[in-house]
Amino acid sequence: MSDTPNAIDAITAAKPSPGEQHFPKFKVTPTLVKEAKELVAQYPEGKEQSAVLPIIHLVQEKFGFICADAMPWIAEMCKSTPIHVAGIVTFYPGIHTMCPGKYHFRVCRTIACSLSGGEELIPYICEKIGVNPADMSDEEPMLVSADGLFSVEPVECLANCGFGPNVMVNDVLYSQVTTKKIDEIIAKYQPKK
């Protein structure tokens, strides 16, 4: 038998990431349950399943990614089943199954941004944070720096095509990004030595 998990076990296989040191480990607390229940209450009775996405966002915001333990809990909260939560988690590229860095770069690689210079940004960021762009794969396009502080991921369109290249760092969108601007952003988040 090979060590690679089969297609089913791969759904929840752990993907260790240095980013995990900057996020708390997933844990069900009374506060988390309360917040999830509030989200579920937004939807009519019998439609609890609609709250799956909002709860996924809640978990991702707090813990950085959706780990294997979180999926059955989310399913339980919205009267769904783990496989349907897994279906949603694996469908959206914006939902992570591997922990990103504390500062997560989403670099647009669609045509408008690429033409305006975005193509060079991914290798540049990779070099700056010390990861190899060749390690990016279809299955897991995210790369995390060894200190877990930074991560980079190509995305499709940040809906700001007129002002490319666009890069999103966590929730902040940067437009007309140049390599110089990348330097500034990284310097801003880099802890002072």
Partner 1 sequence: MSTPPAILPKDAAAAEGKVNVQINGKWYRFPKGTRIADACNSVGAHVPCFCYHPKLSVAGSCRMCLVEQGMPPRQAPGTTPQYGDDGYLPISWMPRAVIACANTVAENMGIRTTSKLTEEARRGVLEFLLSNHPLDCPICDQAGECKLQEYTTDYGSGTHRFTEEKTKKGKNLSIGPRVNLDQERCVLCRRCVRFMKEIAGQDVLGVVGRGTHNAIACYPGTQLDSNYSMNVVDICPVGAMTSKDFRFKMRVWFLKSTPTIDVNCGTGTNINIWTREQQVYRITPRQNDAVNSCWMPDDHRLNYKFINAPTRITTPLVKTDAGAGQRPSTWDATFNMVVEQLHRMAPSETAMICSARMTNEELYMVRALSKQLGVTKLDIVPRKGENDGMLVSEDRNPNTNGAKMILGKTGAGLANIRRGVRNNTIRFMIVLGEDLTAEAGFTAEDLAGLEYLLVVDHSENETTKAADVVLPGVTFAEKYGTMINVTGRIQRLNKAIEPIGDSMSDWEICRNLSERLGCDCVRVIACPTPMSVLDEMAQEFEPLEGITWGSIGNEGKVIMETGVTIPLIEREKAKK
Q: Kindly tell me which residue out of 90, 132, 170, 179 binds partner 1, with binding defined by CB under 8 A.
A: 90
Secondary element (H or E) of residue 106: strand 103-108
Site pattern 133..152 for partner 1 (x: CB under 8 A): -----x--------------
State in angstroms the smallest separation of the CB of 84 from partner 1: 5
Strand partners of residue 105:
152, 169
Q: How many CB atoms lie within 10 A of CB 44?
A: 8
How many residues contact partner 1, by CB under 8 A? Answer: 20
**Residues 50 to 69 in contact with partner 1, rule: CB under 8 A:** 68
Does residue number 86 form part of the binding site for partner 1 (CB under 8 A)? yes
State in angstroms the smallest separation of the CB of 62 from partner 1: 22
Nearer of residues 31 and 137 to partner 1, judged by Cβ: 137
State in angstroms the smallest separation of the CB of 135 from partner 1: 19
State in angstroms the smallest separation of the CB of 110 from partner 1: 16
Q: Which two tokens stand for residue 79?
A: 């009267």
Does residue number 12 form part of the binding site for partner 1 (CB under 8 A)? yes
Q: Kindly tell me which residue out of 51, 66, 71, 131 binds partner 1, with binding defined by CB under 8 A.
A: 71
CA–CA dist 191, 193 (Å, integer)? 6
Does residue number 9 form part of the binding site for partner 1 (CB under 8 A)? yes
Q: Give the amino acid at 42.
A: Q
**Residues 93 to 122 in contact with partner 1, rule: CB under 8 A:** 93
Does residue number 72 form part of the binding site for partner 1 (CB under 8 A)? yes
* Helices 30-41 and 70-77, packing angle to 10 deg: 50
53-62 CB contacts, 8 Å cutoff, 24+ apart: 53/88, 56/85, 56/88, 56/89, 56/95, 58/32, 59/26, 59/32, 60/95, 60/96, 62/23, 62/24, 62/32
Does residue number 11 form part of the binding site for partner 1 (CB under 8 A)? yes
CA–CA dist 95, 63 (Å, integer)? 12
State the residues that interact with partner 1 by CB under 8 A: 6-9, 11-12, 68, 71-72, 81-84, 86-87, 90-93, 138
